[in-house]
Every structure is written in structure tokens, then in C-alpha cells.
Amino acid sequence: MGLVDGRIAIVTASTRGIGRACAVKLAEEGAKVYVAARNRERSMALVDEIRAAGGKADYVRFDADDKATYAGCVNEVLEAEGRVDILVNNYGATDVKRDFDVEHTSFEDFQDIVMDNVQSVYNTAQAAIKGLAEGGSLSIVNIASTGGVYPDLSREAYGLAKAAIIRLTKDIAIQNARRGVRCNVVCPGSIATDALMDNMSEEFIKSFLTTIPMNRLGEPSEIADAVLFYASDMSSYVTGGVMEVGGGTGLGSPMYPLYQMMQARG
């Protein structure tokens, strides 16, 4: 019997990287997972993969270009299943060409990036809480970043957005604890996703690793393990928690190599 056997889970932005790892992990542990993403073809490929492995999965549309799908995807699952037990808010976005520092980032770009990251968490969580039946339970696991915990030399809008998600997590936790809602947040450091690796040369990676005390990148599966902990009864007495999964990121040297790469891109 799996750690989340029989539960209904939604994982946003779940066709790649961390989101995909979370969807697969929850399915392996017995949940029926709704792959919430924009690209139906990629989503259904993951759904088929989970089903072929003996798990349960389905697709629901979640599209950052159509904000109505934020609450909409939750409501669709509520209508189909009658409940949502686990909500993993994995969606997040940045724009290294627009997000630098106070001197170089326009307020319009700053605002867009912050809102892009925070709104999906707010809207999906709100819909899931509204749909919670009397006596039911709900575990919300938000994905933020160590960039929301520690100051950085660039990406200030992204960092602030992730800090806001950490604060929102705590607000949701304290406001809804007596209703059967637990809300926690996982803060990944630098994780070896395709999105990251495609933008890093071998030379840059070697330099970048010197900023991480454990001297390696994390794996998406390591974030999925943290998400499973919060989603399952292993954390039944935990709400408002903030778990950093970053190999000690933020405890060592400032991220100068990353800053230099951002500056070089202009």
C-alpha cells in the first residue's frame, strides 16, 4: 500500500522536470494524479506512461496564458472526483532577459514576473479550499525556491515572487488548519532539469557548483521525495513548513557565476 494510496492529486506544470517527477512519484505511491498542463500531447504521454506502469492518471488543462484555468483545473477535478486531496503547485516562471536588479528591471516587467508566479498558487489553492467538504482533508504543497529565502545578485522579481509564495503558504496554513488543510512549501535549489541544463555550458556548471556546499546539482526526484513527505501522512502534524532542498545553497558563497552569466546575456 502506497503512502498516498487512493488519494486524488493535482500537479501543475507536470510534463517536465520537477513537476513530472512529482506526478510520477505520487502515482507510484498510489494516488490518482491529474497532470495539469498546457500541452495536451505531452500531458497524455505522461498519463499513458503512468497507466502503463500500473498507476492512475488523467489530464486537466492548466495554461498560464489563460488564467481562468488556474481555478478551472481544480474545479474540473472536483466535479469529476468529488474531492481533491493533494494539490502540488509546481508552476513557476522567470525571464532572465527581463529580470535583473532594481537598476535595470522595469516595474512593469517586475510586476508581470511576480504576478505570473503568485497568481496560480493563490487561485488554485483558493479553489481547492472552497471545494473542501466538511470533515475532509487537503494537503497543499507549494514549490518556491531557495531564491525566495536568500537574497541574490539578480532575478529580484523571481526571488520576491518565491518569497511571497513562502509567506502565502504560511497564511493559508494558519487560516485553514482547523478545517483539515495542511499547507507547506518546498524550496528547491539548483536542480538538473532540462530547462536548466540546456542553458548551462560544462564550464559554467563547473564554476556554478562551487557556490553549492554539496558541490552538485539536485535531481528532480529529490524534490519529489520532499513533496511526497508533505503530501502524505508522514507529515500529518506539519503545516506552514518550509523545506529547503538545495544542497546547502545560500549557506556558502554568493552566486557570482550565475550573476555574471545573466549580465553577459544582457
Q: From 40, 74, 75, 78, select the one nearest 59 (Cα to Cα).
A: 40
Q: What does each C-alpha distance from 202 to 136, 208, 213, 219 come to in angstroms?
A: 49, 10, 19, 17
Q: How far apart are CA 170 and CA 164, in angstroms?
A: 10
Q: With beta carbons less than 8 A apart as the criterion, state whether 3 and 25 touch.
A: no
Q: What does the chain come to in residues?
A: 266
Assign residue 128 a region (left: φ > 0; alpha: ψ between -120 and 50; beta: otherwise).
alpha
Q: Annotated catalytic residue: which of 91, 150, 158, 230?
A: 158
- State how beta strands 32-37 and 56-61 pair: parallel
Would residue 158 show up in a list of annotated catalytic residues for this protein? yes
Please list the active-site residues.
158
